[in-house]
Structure 1
Amino acid sequence: MAKNSTKLTKQEKSWILYDWANSGYGIIVVTAVLPIWLVAVGKNAGYSTADTTAFWSYANSLSTFLVAIAAPILGALADYAGFKQRLFTIFTTLGIVGTAGLALVPNNKMWWLLFVFMIANIGYSAANIFYDAFITDVTTDERMDRVSSNGYGFGYLGGVIPFLIFYALRGFMSTTAGVMFGFVLAAAWWLVWTVPMWRNVKQANYLPLPAHPIQEAGSRIVKTVSHIAQYPEIAWFLLAYFFYIDGVNTIFTEASLFGKAVGIDTTTLLTVLLAVQLIAFPFSILYGRLAKKFNTRNVLIGGIIVYVGIALYALFIENAAEFWVLAILVGTSQGGVQALSRAYFGRLVPKDHASEFFGFYNIFGKFSAILGPVLFGAVAQLTGRVQLAAGSLIILFGLGLGIFLALPRLVSKVQAKQPY
């Protein structure tokens, strides 16, 4: 089927299904079960909710930091023939094994739980470098908004199904058994739905394999960085992305602990998180359609502005009803902002160097995921109020929005200074 058809191709569908596959990890491990479980384990160990929030934030930051420093070389290596699939498989397997391994950690070992989580998170984060880069292999520039938005949209729906299974069955188990079941379920879901990606998605754009790939990859990175002025739009977009995606990721990782800290009971919190997933599914796809009508850049700016409002509103959250409003607002824009950012960047990069550039895309995303949780955790620990911690994220959204709004003018200035 031609890629200009209105229907999704087999490769596009298989690529989208990986977002469906790893979203069970996203909602069960990162957003819902593990952070709530950590609060309970932390209390048993004598730690306050604010302290546990800080430890969880630091574990997220450290694991993403390790991926961030490796992202450029991993991305550059993945541009060589055969490497993208190989590296994707290695890190996906690490993530799946780490997720299943969470179920083996005793319920009184908080530090071991955080360590195994970091292993799983490294696999999850690194695999996404190659998954994101595969978008240039499976579709065209014209279809990229749609395919990327469908990936995030169906990813949210794919996260809902294992979460619903967990939600329905946990009442028939002890608390500990229910948590362990959730971890195993997330790992199994991830494994099964990754199979279409492994079977059908191939690297279409690549560089010839050199005699010394690691050395050559390093040289390419140095050359790209030294000639970054040749790519001013990419450079300025990455800086804007660094700030605003930091806020998006931080809200995602801290949502459960925020809810617990403002007094939301576990059942209500799980229901809210489920609702967010259901809301995010149609809105992610809607963002893709709006981008086709109103331009990707304009719709992306609108999504960032929504997040500025979310950060301001978080300052005043005191009860479950207000938390519901906050969650719904997040659900309307989270997937759309992520999807259009990926599609916008995918159009900018040279296709045969896509993995290298997506390595930089991910290093900015991962380093941003270090700053945000540290900011959130530090403010929560210093003030004892998670509302102030969430409100502090307006700094990140404001910086990202300001740079993105100024991007055309900044690019014009750089191009005007370039010799011809």
Structure 2
Amino acid sequence: MGLGLRSLSKRERSWVLYDVGNSAYVMLAATLIPIYFSAIAEPGSSAVVAWGYATTVASLALALLMPFLGSLADLKGNKKKFLAGTIGTGAVSLAVMGVPGNAMVFLAIYVFSSVMLNASLVFYDAFLVDATEQDRYDEVSSQGYAWGYIGSCIPFIVCLVIVLFGSGFGIGQLDGIRISFVITAVWWLVFSVPVLRDVHQTHFKAREEHLFRHTLKGLVGTCKKIARDKRLLMYMLAFFFYIDGVHTIITMSTSYGTDLGIDSTQLVLALLVTQFVAFPSAIAYGRLAGRFGTKRMLLIAVFAYFCITLFAAFFLRSAAEFWVLAVCVGLFQGGIQALSRSEFGKLIPKENANEYYGFFDIFGKYATIMGTLLVSVFTQLTGSSSYGVLSVAVLFIVGFVLLWKMPEEDAR
């Protein structure tokens, strides 16, 4: 498997480029946005707790919306319309995020924008079945994550330069972050053009006269199909737990580091290193899955994240240790996300891809429910964010066991 985009067809390359666009926002949400929120929040308030609850609210809103919207998007011609709509509204709300000075208003806009981002990812992930063939799912999905990691670094480095060195041009740090919101929104829009232009919906359901009733009926039918398919059900349950833990680490790492007193510049630079490490690691994981099997590589990644969680809870106290953590996360982050997405695509009927990915992405790419809630609750109960982080280890244990028990052969 080549490292370059030249190994991909035009459709595959256009699909991959959307990962480059949306990952810039994901990078910003994991670094500068929590720092900005901490800066405008009321003195004495816990940024870790507030940020965790806000992320949980965003994920719950996504959970309520996406199966229904996913079912509608499976109808002929709808998938691209839904993708364009969520990208447009999400990018605009991101661009204006720096306008309000009130922390709660800022969080409300962030929650809306985050829901739009994750909603767009449902339709984007579902386009994988239209962009390539099943025997190339692992490779193309891995390429998407890999180029997303490295591509997101370009606007982020520009934003970082503005934030860290803008004072020489009369731009304060908070104003620099506000400018970063606009830069990232433009980047997201520009790299959404190829997938909207070149990838077309080839798998779809026929339109029905009674749309709403048909959609609800389809959702009930999908739930029954998932329940009857033991392999798919076990996979989704395992994914529900372990990916929630992965995304909790992604979304809470900066807030956790800030709570430990680690300098914000060190946090941001360390997470930038994560992106560079994740680029070759994601591609390597796609190659190793072809040799050793997707399930085996996923089990290795889940166990690695369990160890990472223990390290963060018991040993992470300084900037140097945060850098070690950032490198370790980079080694497994892209692989576990890419292979999870491609493995799911192999298990589902292609004409219902959006509907199934609607369920998948409830707890899919960068959406968290249990993990952020666990961190917030245990931090409040114990007064220590370390115990909050330790609670996330439970998610990896449950996810590992369920994935281990998943039948090897498709029982359908």
Specify the TM-score bucket, using the shorter chain as the normaliser.
over 0.9
The two structures have a TM-score, normalised by structure 2, of 0.94
Q: What whole-Å deviation, never above 9, does each CA across 1:71-91 have from its counterpart, x for those lacking one? A: 111111111100111111111
Residue 343 (structure 2) aligns with: 344
User: 1:177-202 CA distances to partner (integer Å, 9 max, x unpaired)?
Assistant: 11111111110110111111111111
Contact 1:19 1:152 in 2 (8 A): yes
After superposition, residues 14-413 of structure 1 pair within 5 angstroms as 14-28=14-28, 30-42=29-41, 45-48=42-45, 51-106=46-101, 109-170=102-163, 171-172=165-166, 173-315=171-313, 316-365=315-364, 369-408=368-407
Unaligned segments of structure 2, at least 5 residues: none
Give me the whole-angstrom Cα distance separating, in 1, the residues matched to 2:25 and 2:263: 22
Cα distance in structure 1, aligned partners of 2:143 and 2:98: 31
What is the CA deviation profile of residues 20-56 of structure 1, one whole-angstrom value per residue up to 9, with x for unaligned ones?
A: 001111111x1111101111212xx2233xx221111
Name the CA distance, whole Å, in 2 between partners of 1:272 and 1:222.
45
Give the superposition deviation at 1:366.
7.9
1:6 to partner: Cα distance? 8.5
Aligned-residue sequence identity (percent) comes to 38
1:333-364 residue CA offsets vs partner (Å, 9 max, x unmatched): 11110100000000000111111111111124
Which is richer in helix?
A: 1
SS in 2 for 1:376: helix
CA distance in 2, matches of 1:132, 1:162: 23
| Cα offset, 1:368, TM superposition | 6.9
After TM superposition, the score normalised by the length of structure 1 is 0.92
Q: Work out the number of aligned pairs and report it.
A: 402
How far, CA to CA, are the matches of 1:8 and 1:330 in structure 2? 27
Q: 2:247–2:365: 8 Å Cα contact kept in structure 1?
A: no
1:321: how far off? 1.3
- CA contact under 8 A between 1:17 and 1:155: conserved in structure 2? yes
Query: RMSD of aligned C-alpha atoms?
Result: 1.8
Distance 1:214 1:61 in 2: 28
* CA contact 2:247–2:366 (8 Å) conserved in 1: no
User: 1:150: Cα distance to partner?
Assistant: 0.6
Runs of 4 or more, structure 1, over 6 Å off, are none
Distance 1:227 1:206 in 2: 18
Quote how far apart the aligned CAs of 1:151 are: 0.5
Distance change in 2, residues 1:97/1:368 (3 Å): closer
> Is the 1:68–1:367 contact (alpha carbons within 8 Å) kept by the matching residues of 2?
no
Q: Given residue 190 of structure 1, which amino acid in structure 2 is its aligned partner?
A: W
Q: Structure 1 residues 230, 382: closer, same or farther in 2, change over 3 A?
A: closer
